[in-house]
Amino acid sequence: MTLRAPDEGGATALPAGLASPVSAAAVLAADLDLEMLQRIEDSSLNASAPPQQRWLDGWIVRYCPGKAKRARCINAVALGQRSPQAKLTECEALFREAGLPLVVRITPFTQPVGLDAELARRGWPMFDDTRVMVLAELQGRSPAQAAALAGSGAEAGQMVQSGLPPGWTETHEGALDYARTVGALRGSSALEIESHAQRLQGSPVPYTGLVWRDDVGQVQACGQFAREAGLVGLYDIFTAPAARGRGLARALCARLLVLARDEGARTAYLQVDAANAPARKVYARLGFQDAYTYHYRSSEAGAH
């Protein structure tokens, strides 16, 4: 993989576990092309675009009142002409008016490259260390995906061809219904559910929401994918607490990947908390690998 030098606007690629002198965010996958990783970052930004956002001299400023931090933060994607301090000052007023803490998202592609280090020097803590995981090639059904669809644990019963135990149903839900379904599982507030639905309905990248219900109509697992040309992102994967440990998440993700592949997707990505070892294990068994990291910084208490 060929990387541009930092002074040419490129990301800094680092071996896993090492930190950059200018940013704690790093590229981890030496075998993935940097251009592809930038496309994945762009696609994830498109898929998470809320109606409450504006451009500010190279920064995408988002102030959605929902739960997802990627929809209520600053993404510094270009240098612009003004100083970061001048833009932060303007953003402070904007976020204060929206009633939200000022949060900055830091990736290996953040500009200027020293922004993370500068915020750290100011005492802004780093939180929500996240891994972007990538499945580079969706060429037919992989052995891992086939295994996931073949069974989801003894307690779930014998799986049928569609990937569901006998008596279960699979439904495709629109933005509002899906936001309500996953919001109920997460214990989201009415405002958070409404904001999520607005973001899904207004997304420039269409979502496909899938919900699995058991034989008495209870939601056991749900998830979405957002496909942009040959790229597909998995989002809002959630398993009911009582149904965990039975392979449902892996089977559901495999099902989503098959549907996305049939629509023309060739590369898949997802975002997962670095500390969420069970989820990361599920995704690794499907063939995903760590590609790059991102995190957030904020000077305000309660931003987490």
**What is the chain's pLDDT, residue by residue, as a tens digit (304 residues)?**
222 323 333 343 333 333 445 688 999 999 999 999 999 999 999 999 999 999 999 999 999 988 889 999 999 999 999 999 999 999 999 999 999 999 999 999 999 999 999 999 999 999 999 999 999 999 665 555 555 555 544 333 333 345 688 899 999 999 999 999 999 999 999 999 999 999 999 899 999 999 999 999 999 999 999 999 999 999 999 999 988 888 999 999 999 999 999 999 999 999 999 999 999 999 999 999 999 999 999 998 667 7
Supply 121's token pair: 């020097």
Q: Strand, coil or helix: what is 294?
A: strand
Q: Does residue 277 belong to any structural domain of this protein?
A: no
- Helix ranges (H only) for 122-244 are 143-150, 175-186, 190-202
Q: Does one domain contain both 106 and 174?
A: no
Please give the residue range of the domain that contains residue 127: 6-133
Question: pTM, whole model, 2 decimals?
Answer: 0.85
Supply 71's token pair: 């929809």
In whole numbers, what is the pLDDT of the chain averaged over residues?
86
Q: Which residues contact residue 146 at a Cβ distance below 8 angstroms, ignoring those fewer than 6 apart?
A: 254
Quote the pLDDT of residue 245: 87
Q: Does residue 71 belong to any structural domain of this protein?
A: yes
Q: Does one domain contain both 65 and 159?
A: no
Q: Does one domain contain both 158 and 220?
A: yes
- Helix ranges (H only) for the chain are 34-47, 84-98, 115-121, 143-150, 175-186, 190-202, 248-263, 277-285
Q: Does residue 294 belong to any structural domain of this protein?
A: no
Q: Tell me which of 133, 154, 177 is where a domain ends.
A: 133
Residue 173: CB atoms within 10 Å: 18
Q: Does one domain contain both 70 and 145?
A: no
pLDDT tens column, 124-175: 999 999 999 999 999 665 555 555 555 544 333 333 345 688 899 999 999 9
Q: Does one domain contain both 234 and 122?
A: no
Cβ(299)–Cβ(100) below 8 Å:
no
Quote the pLDDT of residue 139: 67
| Number of domains the chain contains | 2
CA-to-CA distance for 220 and 243, rounded, in angstroms?
6
- Adjacent-strand bridge partners of 235: 224
Cβ(207)–Cβ(200) below 8 Å:
yes
Q: Does one domain contain both 195 and 214?
A: yes
pLDDT tens column, 171-201: 999 999 999 999 999 999 999 999 999 999 9
Q: Which residues contact residue 31 at a Cβ distance below 8 angstroms, ignoring those fewer than 6 apart?
A: 1
Quote the pLDDT of residue 66: 83
Quote the pLDDT of residue 20: 43
CA-to-CA distance for 222 and 243, rounded, in angstroms?
12
CA-to-CA distance for 105 and 87, rounded, in angstroms?
14
Q: Does residue 301 belong to any structural domain of this protein?
A: no
Quote the pLDDT of residue 190: 95
Question: Which residue from 296, 291, 247, 250 is spatially nearest to 270, judged by alpha carbons?
Answer: 291
Q: Does one domain contain both 101 and 173?
A: no
Checking phi first, is residue 48 left (phi over 0); if not, alpha (psi -120 to 50) or beta?
alpha
Residue 193 CA from chain centroid, whole number: 17
Q: Does one domain contain both 143 and 244?
A: yes
Q: Does residue 302 belong to any structural domain of this protein?
A: no
Residue 131 CA from chain centroid, whole number: 9
